[in-house]
Amino acid sequence: MNPFREAVLRNLQQPATRREEPEEDLHAKPREISDQELTEIDKLPTKAAACELALDINANIELLEFKTDVAARAEKLEYLRRANLSQRCRHVMSNGDTCGCPALRDQQYCRFHGQAYESEIDLPVIEDVDSLQIA
Ligand SMILES: [Zn+2]
């Protein structure tokens, strides 16, 4: 194994009380790393300095990944909010419940029930055992 990797792993495996940062502070802003630091990694004087830089880089990467994940979740939440605002299918099922699926744009029913009502033969919508029997 490469010595740099060993040093990083040793640092990470030390008990929390022996490390400089006893536990991860979620409010701590990761140290900003300059482009110069990244291009001069080969000039780092000690394993400890390399290890510190690796940990700082890791903290920055984790923050970026976390932000990306949060942004994706926020986008998903927005889609779900918009979906929940959409008009619902007005079909009333044999048990009295309404369908609840989003209705097609500018229509009263969802895709399934819209197709069922467009049928040339006037059959009840087949959606459960009872309606199948009736049909
Ligand atoms: Zn429906």
Expressed in angstroms and rounded, the spacing between residue 98 Cα and the centre of ligand 1 is: 8
Rg (alpha carbons) of the chain, rounded to whole number: 30
The whole-number pLDDT of residue 22 equals 64
> What's the burial of 30, exposed, middle or buried (CB within 10 Å: 0-12/13-18/19+)?
middle
pLDDT tens digits for range 16-44: 555 555 677 889 899 999 999 999 999 99
The answer on 105 and 40 residing in a single domain is: no
CB 103 within 8 A of CB 110: yes
Q: Is the pTM of this model over 0.75?
A: no
CA dist., res. 135 & res. 117, Å (int): 14
Closest CA to 4 of 54, 39, 43: 54
CA dist., res. 11 & res. 88, Å (int): 56
Expressed in angstroms and rounded, the spacing between residue 100 Cα and the centre of ligand 1 is: 6
CA dihedral over 22, 26, 28, 34, signed as positive or negative = positive
Which pairs count as long-range contacts for 108-117, CB under 8 Å and 24+ apart, including other chains? 113/89, 116/91, 117/91
The answer on 39 and 102 residing in a single domain is: no
Expressed in angstroms and rounded, the spacing between residue 40 Cα and the centre of ligand 1 is: 62
Q: Let me know if residue 50 belongs to a domain.
A: yes
The whole-number pLDDT of residue 109 equals 94
pLDDT tens digits for range 55-83: 999 999 999 999 999 999 999 999 999 88
The answer on 135 and 93 residing in a single domain is: yes
Expressed in angstroms and rounded, the spacing between residue 83 Cα and the centre of ligand 1 is: 15
Q: Let me know if residue 55 belongs to a domain.
A: yes
User: Domain of 114?
Assistant: 87-135
Expressed in angstroms and rounded, the spacing between residue 89 Cα and the centre of ligand 1 is: 5
Q: Let me know if residue 109 belongs to a domain.
A: yes
The answer on 44 and 65 residing in a single domain is: yes
